[in-house]
Amino acid sequence: MKKDIPFIVDFNDKSHAGSGFSVNRFFCRLPRQQRTWILSLGFLSILSLLVYIGYSKHSSKFTQHILLQYHPSENSKEPWQQKQRRHENQRIEGKVFALPTNERQIAVRDAMRHAWKAYRTYAWGFDELEPISKRPSVWFGLGLTIVDAIDTLYIMNMTQEYSQAREWIENYFNMDVNLVDKFNSHFEITIRILGGLLSIYHLTMDDVFMRRAVELGDRLLLNFNTSSGLPLAEINLKRKIAHTYGWTTDLTTAEVGTVQLEMRDLSRITGDKKYEVSLNAADRSAAVLHNQVKNDGLVPIFVSSITGQFSGEIISLGARGDSYYEYLLKQWLQTGQTRPNFWNDWIESIDGIRKHLWRVAYPENLYFVGELLGISVFSPKMDHLVCFLAGNMALGWHFRRDLTYLLDMAKNLTTTCYEMYAQQPTGLSPEIVYFNLDAESNKSAILVEDNDAHNLLRPELVESLYYMYHLTGDKIYQDWGWQIFQSFEKHTRQNDGYSSINDVRHVDDVQPRDKMESYFLAETLKYFYLLFHPTNLFPFQQWIFNTEAHPLPIYTN
């Protein structure tokens, strides 16, 4: 027989009605000890409920007060800050890249793996590799090759190598170690390290990289605290001290005009305006340069750190001047084409180039960009660095198709830069060339002096080939790139890594310089890989590249 259980009662069971059942009568029949226990339990439950209600009201007010302290009203935020807050509780996916699609891309990825393996074996955690000596070299003390090359690893879908780099950045990137206790170029740190961190953050949306970028950006911001509004030349990140060069108060125009993309992007991803529009930040330095007197848009390669005015008479789109012009166009694009000063300064400079620097060399009729050594003193010298300009002009034409001369100039300059490679026995370009302006001379159009015959694994022509192919669809630019890549493989590849060389004119004696530049992995191999992809992995309406080939997004405001 089933035993009755008195504590389980169905109050909807009508069978109890005839027997006169009630809760009160049931409770009174319980033993005294059980009745006391039930009453005590009920009293404690009611008391706990009252305490909880009171605490909740107080706690909500306290929490609201804390939120108001650390998260100001959405109405007081800039548009990109509001956007960031709206996405805080959403999962934001990074950009995904597939495996290589053709033999040329596979060959480039194999080259990247060869370079990375050598660096990891002999220089891991240090800045760069000396591939002949098989030892590391120290520059910044911040694992430069790791940070500079990590987005290339990610784009090439080199997952194991990417994971190695990410782990190092998360656990070992440290600006307070003794290796960092030195003065280094503010410009180089910005474009290579800050640019690398920002780029890989945008590609992966991994907060590890944003945190490191903020840590670095906060220290670099100290360099902008100047009377002129221009950043100083050097900074000691460990000591948080900035200064000009020891031998001059002048800065180079490229240095002070090529840090704005990165600082502005840091403001956009953090929602903190201080890197972009505060009193001492990127926009102020850009405004200082904009307000200076120019020669048909062209500016000298030096600028005073004290007055902010340009210094000297040398005008060049090579060393010390190049990326100032590059960033004029890219800042206009980065800000959604909403700041006309950037475009106006850039297009005026292109017109100045046409008027003062654009020449033709004989007998091959090669167009090139020379230099001004004074108001009317022209030099037919062109650095390999100038080859960036072809891609830059093609990019400008892409957004202003009515300016057809931009594409014409881009094509002509790309051809000349290719000939700088093709005419050398190694198939590699020297660092500097001179051009023959005498139509009656028997000399070649391209002349190389002994001190200029070295090749530093530079990316500028490959960069322009990337733009030219994806903007025109002409496969000749891919074919030229493949020829150049094979020359790098033949003459600069070492048993471990790659090395710059001293002489491009002698196939049997190139004289390796025992240096593998971080930009060879960050820029040269990346642009080769993107050049050989059948479609543009970084649509020009959505992305720009900083001067170290780190992709950054275009904003609409």
Q: 431, 496, 503, 523: which one is catalytic?
A: 431
Q: Amino acid letter at 53? A: I
pTM of the predicted model as reported, rounded to 2 decimal places: 0.84
Q: 78, 188, 364, 452: which one is catalytic?
A: 188
pLDDT tens figures, 3-19: 333 322 232 333 333 44
pLDDT tens figures, 454-507: 999 999 999 999 999 999 999 999 999 999 999 999 999 999 999 999 999 999
Spell out the domains of the chain, with CATH numbers in brackets. Answer: 91-553 (1.50.10.10)
Token pair of 537 as six digits: 């992995």
Which residue ranges make up the annotated binding site for Ca(2+)?
547
- 322 is known as an active-site residue: yes
Q: Identify the CA nearest to 397 among candidates 354, 350, 358.
A: 350
Strands 135-137 and 184-185, bridge-based pairing: unpaired
Q: What is the pLDDT of residue 557?
A: 73
Q: 161, 276, 322, 496: which one is catalytic?
A: 322
Does 63 score more than 90 pLDDT?
Answer: no
Q: What would the mean pLDDT of 56-76 be, rounded to a whole number?
A: 31
Number of H helices, E strands in the chain: 20, 17
Q: What would the mean pLDDT of 159-182 be, rounded to a whole number?
A: 98
Please provide the distance, in angstroms rounded to a whole number, between the alpha carbons at the two ends of the chain. 82
Contacts by 434-440 with C-beta closer than 8 Å and gap 24+? 434/380, 434/381, 434/382, 435/359, 435/361, 435/366, 435/368, 435/370, 435/380, 435/382, 436/361, 436/362, 436/363, 436/380, 437/359, 437/361, 437/362, 437/380, 438/362, 439/362, 439/363
Does 83 score more than 70 pLDDT?
Answer: no
- 345 is known as an active-site residue: no
Q: 127, 460, 503, 548: which one is catalytic?
A: 460
Distances (CA, A) of 34 to 31, 40, 400: 6, 10, 90
Q: What would the mean pLDDT of 353-365 be, rounded to a whole number?
A: 98
